[in-house]
């Protein structure tokens, strides 16, 4: 009934990347610092700020320590793959392009039921939100489609469209397997031998679940958190002074390491998730820690916008 | 006369917002056409909507406004014309009126002859007016959540506008909405019609043209077709019925342009999970309808409403895909259920310390302890009135009521809190009465909901809610205007409803007392409950507002009693005698107020020699009073009110013949004392002066 010749996990990614590359998108590599979602990678979080158009796609491994299930739950993962796409500004036919991208992955829309159901998105710690949909294919949420309205506490103009494809879900659905670990990741074209998602990632899910839930050293995590946070604040403080100085020259502003500052903020965000998975953050503390991360993310976003202005002014 | 069509093409609008927006757009178009005198007699305005469009069809639109003529009068003829030649005054007036001097006419008025000008205003064309005015109307539609999409952020709307159709019969109306120029090209179903343009050749052919493009634009038609399709799909299972769910029907109606239905199955083993969990997964998470067998028990099937039409192969694919998702969700739910049993509710009480109820107040452990105190006080009040219930079960229920917040199943299905707790309590043999009370603690969730069936559930519901209200008021979180972030009005509505519809012998004051409200906010909480009682009587029970005002003015503490009095008053208020009494009581109140303002003193009715008509009223009232009081005490309100109505002849005669505010202070004082005693003596059931008489 269902096509046994469904595409492998990596074929799906190739198709998706090929589709969007042919429509003028930059294909970036995934960001190499832990993030909870593709949105947090600088290619989204920072690039959506300011007026400059940008189109980018990347397959971002997204880590959510609390979601780990030791590789035992067939539907839940500590680290899943988001194919993240940013279209800034969104073209008028963005939805039609999106549907074509599904067809590029081998989904014959005339044999499926597709709905755009309201689902608004927000990331409070990033001062980011947007309105949009969860795209439902035969009752399965396959994509989060968001029109970003604000990021880093800043109103966006132009706004952008963010498409986040849940790759494991889409692959399990198209290959009709009940467990993510049974997804065929790659198939040797000569021998036909399949390598599954489990072959590639099961050990990682198991070991990181053990680490995240049992072994991560809470006092050290707090130390790391505090130390990254302190460094980020120090840099942000300098940035604030520099960007307020009218006599500072553009080159000096341009070379200020805000991208590195943002990485420090991302580190804090991931450490927070780890501490949370360890049950080390009480409900009362929670809001406060999110506020600390927000201060960093929003601070970087503000400085980044100033830096862009300074760079374009010279 | 023409048909006018407006279609605003959008990216998928949230289902919950469509009906309101469709109605609002229809009203705005109708108001605009009416305001601009463009709507012919007998014109008809019809609205349509799908997730991707809002449309209005107005049949009977005038091509242009009727021309109007207006007469303007200027200076006197003598001043304007000397020897038949226009003077400067005539020229100035002609210029002001916008006519030529030759067009000025002589107008005869009672004051003499004047210069007149007839000013013709040509009606504007409908197309021109609509082009100028309609875009503003369309963009003014209220949306619960808006977005920007165009650079420079020129407008906000629910989702981007992608096309606009505006036609007067077959002619384009040159308007522009959100940067999109209107034309006669619409779009059909995303997949079934694809990107083939849908030409609307005439406004009146709108729904037919869209139907051909696989879009049913009429909401009622989609609703009916979904119901029929659900019936048809269910008939394939012998004896089965789909479970009625009006809210879900509305959701899927607004999620589809071309609805069809597929019936799918799940493994019968999942029926071992509680029905509440299965139905929640199907309804809230997947928007599926549940299916029940001939005995009303859940059957292992589901119904999914699709927004497409497919062949048999596609059907099989879609059925399989939906079943796959549902199975995964059921599997999760079963995992959580089993996992949660490892720590019974009783062991979870302490961990409520880590679940915040309200930052300034404390955790759910704090809340549980506070609820226990309120429940104890309520129990005492109920017991002293001789109502029996299981006090130990109530205590157990209050103690465990919030523990399900720590379970995985409630974290996954937050809408099932309370229900899950009740099911777990039952599974863990906590005792049936306690389990039921926990299960029922959050109902009624709305004014249409039933109240808990068990006394313990009613008391738990009251204790939990009044504790929340009092505590929230205490930290300054009382609702203001339209802002009620903690849903305290809903909580108070539930309190009133439970008191009104249960047998509990509790008054509003009993409930406020039990809540341990501090003296400083006691009256505020009490007033808040009274205001909700007013709402309940009017909006839930449907009593007329003046009846409610009259009844509550005479006492708003005992909810059952207020209802009984409102019923009695509603029954008698239509009679002539009663209307006359109401009018008289209003008059009495006015007179007493005037007297008070003027500083007139009230005297004893017997302190002066009364006129026979006044004496008669005094005697009649005195004769009636004991009997009315007895009836009132027996709560025979209708009889009491009928008796009061018999005062009418005496009252009428009194006002007819007696000057109340007599110039003799002694007599005036006696009159005032008399009407005051009538007013106060007969206002115990209701303040009749509140009754609005024709």
> Are B433 and B413 a contacting pair, CB within 8 Å?
no
CB atoms A149 and B325 under 8 Å:
no
pLDDT band at B186 (very low <50, low <70, confident <90, very high): very high
SS3 for B506-565 is CCHHHHHHHCCCCHHHHHHHHHHHHHHHHHHHHHHCCCCHHHHHHHHHCCCCCHHHHHHH
Do B501 and B645 share a domain, yes or no?
no
A212-264: pLDDT as tens digits: 999 999 999 999 999 999 999 999 999 999 998 888 888 999 999 999 999 99
Residue recorded with tokens 């205003």: B121
A98-109: pLDDT as tens digits: 999 999 999 999
Task: Count CA atoms closer than 13 A to A69's CA, side-chain side.
Answer: 15
pLDDT band at A2 (very low <50, low <70, confident <90, very high): very low
Of B11, B150, B354, the CB nearest to A283: B354
What is the pTM assigned to this prediction?
0.82
Question: What rounded mean pLDDT belongs to chain B?
Answer: 94
- Helices and strands (DSSP H and E) totals, chain B: 26, 22
Axis-axis angle for helices B545-553, B559-572 (nearest 10): 130
> Are A270 and A35 a contacting pair, CB within 8 Å?
yes
CB atoms B148 and A115 under 8 Å:
no
Closest CA to B372 of B401, B406, B341, B343: B401
- CA B461-B464-B465 angle, to 5 degrees, is 85
In a domain, B553, yes or no: no
Alpha-carbon span B203 to B485, nearest angstrom: 45
Q: Does A179 touch chain B (CB under 8 A)?
A: no
Min Cα distance B413 → chain A (Å) is 16
Q: Average pLDDT, stretch B277-284?
A: 94
Domain boundary among B340, B362, B393: B340
pLDDT of amino acid A1: 40
Tell me the β-bridge partners of B306.
Answer: B260
pLDDT of amino acid A283: 64
Residue recorded with tokens 């009836």: B631
> Are B25 and B141 a contacting pair, CB within 8 Å?
yes
Do B143 and B98 share a domain, yes or no?
no
CB atoms B308 and A1 under 8 Å:
no
Domain boundary among B340, B369, B395: B340
In a domain, B636, yes or no: yes
A chain contacts of residue B362, beta-carbon cutoff 8 Å? none
Q: Average pLDDT, stretch B680-692?
A: 89
Burial of A221 (0-12, 13-18, 19+ CB in 10 A): middle
Min Cα distance B162 → chain A (Å) is 7
Alpha-carbon span A263 to A33, nearest angstrom: 7
Do B202 and B227 share a domain, yes or no?
no
Helix (H, G, I), strand (E, B) or coil at B64: strand
- Show the tokens assigned to B572: 């008698």
Question: What rounded mean pLDDT belongs to chain A?
Answer: 94
Min Cα distance A234 → chain B (Å) is 31
pLDDT of amino acid B31: 96
In terms of CA atoms, which chain A residue is nearest residue B259? A113
Alpha-carbon span A275 to A288, nearest angstrom: 14
In this structure, how many other beta carbons lie within 10 angstroms of the beta carbon of residue B322?
25
Contacts of B31 (CB under 8 A, 6+ apart): none
Query: Which parts of B1-79 are beta strand (E)?
Result: 2-10, 39-50, 53-61, 68-76
First CA to last CA across chain B, in angstroms? 43
- Show the tokens assigned to B380: 């005492």
Q: Does B316 touch chain A (CB under 8 A)?
A: yes
Does residue A92 have a pLDDT over 90?
A: yes
- Show the tokens assigned to B528: 């808040």
A258-303: pLDDT as tens digits: 999 999 999 999 999 999 999 888 766 788 899 999 999 999 999 9
First CA to last CA across chain A, in angstroms? 61
Burial of B272 (0-12, 13-18, 19+ CB in 10 A): exposed
Element (H, E) at B414: none
Helix (H, G, I), strand (E, B) or coil at B254: coil
Is the four-CA dihedral A75, A79, A81, A86 of positive or negative sign? Answer: positive
What CATH number does the domain containing B596 carry? 1.10.730
Of B153, B162, B324, the CB nearest to A157: B153
In a domain, B561, yes or no: no
Alpha-carbon span B629 to B578, nearest angstrom: 18
CB atoms B321 and A1 under 8 Å:
no
pLDDT of amino acid B327: 94
Do B479 and B508 share a domain, yes or no?
yes
Best A118, A172, A179, A286 member to test B by mutation, with max B CBs in 10 Å, is A118
How many residues appear in chain A? 314
Min Cα distance B244 → chain A (Å) is 20
> Are B33 and B58 a contacting pair, CB within 8 Å?
yes
- The total of structural domains in chain B comes to 5
Alpha-carbon span B534 to B522, nearest angstrom: 18
Contacts of B366 (CB under 8 A, 6+ apart): B357
Do B44 and B103 share a domain, yes or no?
no
Does residue B374 have a pLDDT over 60?
A: yes
CB atoms B14 and A118 under 8 Å:
yes
| DSSP conformation letters of B316-330 | HHHHHHHHHHHHHHH
The complex scores an ipTM of 0.94
Do B494 and B606 share a domain, yes or no?
no
Domain boundary among B340, B365, B394: B340
Helix (H, G, I), strand (E, B) or coil at B335: helix
Does residue B187 have a pLDDT over 80?
A: yes
In a domain, B547, yes or no: no
Q: Average pLDDT, stretch B59-69?
A: 94
Of A96, A114, A159, the CB nearest to B149: A159
Do B111 and B6 share a domain, yes or no?
no
In a domain, B558, yes or no: no
- Show the tokens assigned to B423: 């099911």
Domain that holds residue B192: 2-65+125-212
Do B90 and B59 share a domain, yes or no?
no
Which of A190-204, B155-169, B658-672 shows the lowest mean pLDDT across its residues? Answer: B658-672
Burial of B262 (0-12, 13-18, 19+ CB in 10 A): buried
What CATH number does the domain containing B38 carry? 3.30.70
B80-111: pLDDT as tens digits: 998 888 999 999 999 988 888 888 888 888 88
Q: Does B102 touch chain A (CB under 8 A)?
A: no
pLDDT of amino acid A5: 63
Alpha-carbon span B607 to B603, nearest angstrom: 7
> Ramachandran region of residue B487, left (φ > 0), alpha (ψ -120 to 50) or beta?
left
Do B159 and B270 share a domain, yes or no?
no
- Show the tokens assigned to A21: 């590359």
Alpha-carbon span B119 to A96, nearest angstrom: 55
Contacts of A220 (CB under 8 A, 6+ apart): none
> Are A40 and A126 a contacting pair, CB within 8 Å?
yes
Do B589 and B650 share a domain, yes or no?
yes
In a domain, B559, yes or no: no
Alpha-carbon span B684 to B276, nearest angstrom: 48
Do B466 and B516 share a domain, yes or no?
yes
pLDDT of amino acid A314: 46
Alpha-carbon span B405 to B412, nearest angstrom: 10
Closest CA to B156 of B168, B171, B170, B142: B142
B104-130: pLDDT as tens digits: 888 888 888 999 999 888 999 999 999
For B423, phi then psi, to 5°, come to: -65, -40
pLDDT band at A10 (very low <50, low <70, confident <90, very high): very high
pLDDT of amino acid B354: 82
Helix (H, G, I), strand (E, B) or coil at B237: coil
Pairing of strands B180-181, B176-177: antiparallel
Best B308, B339, B361 member to test A by mutation, with max A CBs in 10 Å, is B308
What CATH number does the domain containing B535 carry? 1.10.3210
Best A50, A77, A113 member to test B by mutation, with max B CBs in 10 Å, is A113
Does residue B634 have a pLDDT over 80?
A: yes
Which of B92-106, B147-161, B489-503 shows the lowest mean pLDDT across its residues? Answer: B92-106
Pairing of strands A54-63, A26-27: parallel
In a domain, B501, yes or no: yes
Closest CA to B546 of B526, B524, B587, B574: B574
Do B33 and B160 share a domain, yes or no?
yes
Residue recorded with tokens 């739950």: A73
In a domain, B601, yes or no: yes
B415-424 long-range CB contacts below 8 Å, 24 or more apart? B415/B280, B415/B284, B416/B276, B416/B277, B416/B280, B417/B442, B418/B442, B419/B276, B420/B276, B420/B277, B421/B345, B423/B274, B423/B276, B424/B340, B424/B341, B424/B344, B424/B345
pLDDT of amino acid A313: 61
> Are B52 and B30 a contacting pair, CB within 8 Å?
no
């Amino acid at each position: 009934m269902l096509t046994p010749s469904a595409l492998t996990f990596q074929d799906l990614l190739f198709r998706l990347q090929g589709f969007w590359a042919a429509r003028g998108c930059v294909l970036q590599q995934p960001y190499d610092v832990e993030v909870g979602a593709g949105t947090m990678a600088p290619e989204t979080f920072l690039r959506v700020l300011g007026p400059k158009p940008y189109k980018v796609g990347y397959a971002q491994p997204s880590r959510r320590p609390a979601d780990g299930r030791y590789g035992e739950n067939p539907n839940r993962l500590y680290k899943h793959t988001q194919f993240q796409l940013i279209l800034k500004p969104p073209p008028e036919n963005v939805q039609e392009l999106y549907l074509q991208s599904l067809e590029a992955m081998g989904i014959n829309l005339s044999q499926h039921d597709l709905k755009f159901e309201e689902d608004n998105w927000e990331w409070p710690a990033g001062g980011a939100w947007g309105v949009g949909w969860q795209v439902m294919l035969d009752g399965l949420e396959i994509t989060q489609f968001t029109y970003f309205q604000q990021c880093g506490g800043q109103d966006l103009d132009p706004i952008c469209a963010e498409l986040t494809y849940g790759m494991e879900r889409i692959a399990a659905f198209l290959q009709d397997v009940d467990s993510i670990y049974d997804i065929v990741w790659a198939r040797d074209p000569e021998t036909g031998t399949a390598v599954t998602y489990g072959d590639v990632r099961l050990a990682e899910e198991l070991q990181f679940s053990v680490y995240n839930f049992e072994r991560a050293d809470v006092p050290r995590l707090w130390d790391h958190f505090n130390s990254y946070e302190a460094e980020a604040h120090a840099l942000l403080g300098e940035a604030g002074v520099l960007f307020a100085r009218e006599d500072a020259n553009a080159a000096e502003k341009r070379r200020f390491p805000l991208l590195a500052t943002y990485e420090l903020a991302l580190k804090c965000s991931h450490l927070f998730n780890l501490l949370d998975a360890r049950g080390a953050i009480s409900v009362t503390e929670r809001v406060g820690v999110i506020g600390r991360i927000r201060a960093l993310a929003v601070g970087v976003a503000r400085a980044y916008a100033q830096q862009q202005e300074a760079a374009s002014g010279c | 006369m023409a048909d006018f069509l407006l279609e605003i093409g959008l990216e998928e609008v949230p289902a919950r917002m469509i009906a309101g927006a469709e109605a609002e757009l229809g009203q705005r178009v109708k108001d605009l056409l009416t305001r601009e005198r463009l709507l012919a007699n007998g014109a008809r305005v019809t609205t349509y909507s799908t997730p991707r469009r809002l449309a209005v069809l107005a049949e009977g639109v005038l091509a242009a406004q009727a021309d109007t003529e207006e007469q303007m009068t200027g200076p006197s003829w003598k001043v304007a014309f000397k020897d038949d030649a226009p003077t400067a005054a005539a020229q100035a007036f002609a210029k002001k009126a916008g006519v030529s001097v030759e067009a000025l006419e002589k107008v005869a008025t009672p004051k003499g002859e004047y210069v007149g000008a007839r000013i013709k205003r040509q009606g504007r064309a409908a197309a021109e007016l609509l082009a100028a005015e309609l875009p503003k109307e369309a963009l003014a539609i209220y949306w619960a959540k808006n977005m920007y999409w165009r650079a420079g952020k020129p407008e906000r709307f629910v989702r981007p506008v992608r096309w606009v159709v505006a036609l007067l019969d077959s002619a384009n109306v040159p308007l522009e909405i959100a940067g999109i120029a209107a034309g006669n090209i619409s779009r059909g179903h995303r997949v079934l019609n694809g990107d083939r343009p849908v030409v609307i050749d005439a406004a009146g052919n709108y729904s037919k043209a869209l139907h051909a493009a696989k879009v049913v634009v009429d909401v009622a038609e989609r609703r009916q077709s979904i119901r029929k399709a659900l019936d048809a799909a269910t008939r394939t299972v012998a004896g089965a019925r789909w479970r009625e769910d009006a809210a879900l029907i509305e959701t899927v109606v607004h999620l589809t342009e071309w609805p069809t239905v597929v019936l799918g199955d799940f493994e019968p083993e999942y029926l071992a999970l509680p029905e509440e969990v299965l139905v929640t997964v199907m309804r809230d998470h997947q928007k599926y309808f549940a299916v029940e067998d001939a005995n009303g028990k859940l059957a292992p099937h589901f119904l999914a409403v699709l927004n497409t039409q497919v062949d048999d192969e596609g059907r099989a694919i879609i059925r399989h895909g939906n079943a796959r998702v549902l199975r995964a969700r059921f599997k999760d739910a079963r995992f959580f259920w089993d996992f949660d049993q490892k720590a019974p509710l009783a062991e979870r009480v302490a961990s409520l310390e880590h679940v915040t109820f309200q930052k300034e107040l404390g955790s759910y452990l704090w809340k549980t302890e506070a609820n226990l105190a309120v429940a104890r006080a309520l129990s005492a009040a109920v017991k002293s009135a001789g109502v029996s219930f299981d006090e130990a079960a109530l205590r157990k229920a209050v103690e465990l009521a919030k523990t399900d917040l720590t379970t995985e199943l409630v974290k996954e299905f937050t809408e099932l809190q309370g229900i899950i707790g009740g099911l777990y309590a039952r599974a863990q043999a906590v005792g049936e009465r306690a389990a039921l009370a926990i299960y029922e603690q959050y109902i009624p969730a709305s004014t249409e909901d039933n109240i808990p069936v068990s006394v313990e559930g009613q008391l738990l519901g009251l204790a939990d809610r009044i504790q929340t209200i009092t505590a929230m008021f205490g930290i300054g979180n009382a609702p203001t205007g339209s802002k009620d972030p903690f849903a305290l009005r809903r909580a108070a509505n539930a309190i009133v409803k439970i008191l009104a519809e249960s047998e509990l012998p509790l008054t509003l004051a009993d409930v406020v007392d039990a809540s341990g409200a501090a003296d400083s906010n006691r009256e505020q909480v009490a007033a808040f409950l009274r205001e909700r009682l007013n709402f309940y009587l009017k909006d839930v029970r449907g009593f007329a507002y003046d009846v409610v005002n009259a009844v509550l003015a005479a006492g708003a503490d005992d909810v059952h009693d207020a209802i009984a009095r409102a019923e009695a008053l509603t029954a008698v208020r239509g009679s002539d005698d009663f209307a006359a009494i109401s009018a008289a009581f209003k008059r009495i109140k006015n007179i007493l107020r005037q007297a008070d303002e003027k500083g007139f003193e009230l005297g004893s009715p017997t302190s002066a020699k009364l006129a026979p008509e006044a004496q008669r009223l005094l005697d009649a009232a005195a004769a009636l009073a004991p009997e009315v009081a007895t009836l009132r005490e027996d709560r025979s309100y209708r009889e009491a009110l009928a008796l009061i109505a018999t005062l009418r002849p005496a009252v009428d005669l009194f006002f007819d013949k007696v000057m109340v505010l007599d110039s003799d202070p002694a007599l005036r004082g006696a009159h005032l004392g008399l009407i005051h005693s009538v007013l106060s003596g007969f206002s115990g059931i209701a303040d009749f002066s509140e009754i609005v008489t024709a």
